[in-house]
Chains A and B, each alone.
Chain A
Amino acid sequence: MDLRPELDNYYGTENLFECYQCGPCTGGCPVNRYLPDFNVRAIVKRIMDGDIDLADRSLWYCTTCYNCYERCPQKVKPLYLVQAATNSAFARGLAPESIKDMNKTLLKCGRNSEITSVARNQRQAFGLPALKENVSEDYKKIAALTGFSKGL
Chain B
Amino acid sequence: MSSVLIVGGGITGMQAASRLALLGKEVVLVERDEELGGNLKILGATFGNGMEAKALIEKREKEIRSSATAAVFTDTEIASLKGAYPRLSASLKTPGGTREVECRSVILSTGFTPFNPAGMKHYGFGMHPDVITAAECAIKIKENKLVRNSNGQAPHSVTFIQCIGSRDLRTHTYCSAFCCMYAVHCALQVKEQIPRCRVAVLYMDIRTPFCAELVYEDARRKGVSFFRSKPAAVRAGRGHDHLTVQYEDTLDGELRFLQTDMVVLSIGAEPPKDAGYLAASLGIETGESGFFACEPPPVFTRAQGVFVAGAASGPKDIATCIAEGSAAAAQAAILLKE
Contacts and interface: CB of A to CB of B under 8 A. Distances in A.
Interface of A: 18, 20-29, 32-33, 36, 39, 41-42, 67, 71, 73-75
Contacts of B249: 23
Contacts, number: 70
Interface stretch (B4-12, B61-69, B226-234, B305-313): B226-234
Interface string B228-257: 111111000000000000111110011100
A102 to B, nearest CB: 29
Contacts of A32: 248, 255
A41 B255 CA distance: 12
Contact of B230 (A24, A29, A75): A24
B248 A20 contact: no
Contacts of B250: 21-23, 26, 41
A23 B246 contact: no
B279 to A, nearest CB: 28
Interface in B1-30: none
A35 to B, nearest CB: 11
B204 interface: yes
Interface of B: 122, 163, 167-170, 204-205, 228-233, 246-250, 253-255
B169 A27 contact: no
Interface centre among B122, B204, B233, B255 (most CB of A within 10 A): B255
A39 B252 CA distance: 11
A75 to B, nearest CB: 5
A27 B232 contact: yes
Q: Which 10 A-B pairs have the closest CB atoms?
A: A28-B232, A27-B232, A22-B230, A73-B168, A26-B248, A27-B248, A23-B248, A23-B250, A24-B232, A23-B229
Contacts of A67: 232
Nearest to A71: B232
Nearest to B122: A71
A23 B249 CA distance: 7
A32 B247 CA distance: 11
Given A26-B253, A36-B253, 20 more contacts: A20-B167, A22-B229, A23-B232, A24-B247, A27-B232, A27-B255, A28-B232, A28-B233, A32-B248, A32-B255, A36-B255, A39-B248, A41-B248, A42-B253, A71-B232, A73-B163, A73-B168, A73-B169, A74-B168, A75-B170
A18 to B, nearest CB: 7
A24 B170 contact: no
A74 B166 CA distance: 11
B169 A28 contact: no
A124 B220 CA distance: 70
A28 B253 contact: no
Contacts of A18: 169
A27 B244 CA distance: 12
Nearest to A33: B255
Given A27-B248, A41-B248, A36 B254 contact: yes
B15 to A, nearest CB: 34
Contacts of A75: 169-170
Contacts of A33: 255
Contacts of A20: 167, 204-205, 230
Contacts of A28: 232-233, 246
A27 B256 CA distance: 8
Nearest to B253: A39
A32 B254 CA distance: 9
